Amino acid sequence: MYDGYAVGFSIIFFLVFAFIFLFAIATFVFWIWMLIDCLKRPDEKFSNPGPNTKLTWALIIIFTHFLGAVLYYFLVKRTNESKVQEG
Per-residue pLDDT at 82:
65
Check pLDDT > 60 for residue 1. Answer: no
Provide the 10 A C-beta neighbour count for residue 23.
Answer: 10
* Inter-CA distances, 59 with 55, 64, 69, 71, 84, Å: 6, 8, 11, 12, 26
Residue range 63-74: average pLDDT?
A: 96
Instruction: Indicate if the pLDDT at residue 21 is higher than 70.
Output: yes
- For residues 30-45, average pLDDT: 94
Q: What is the DSSP letter of 82?
A: H
Residue 3 has pLDDT above 80, yes or no: no
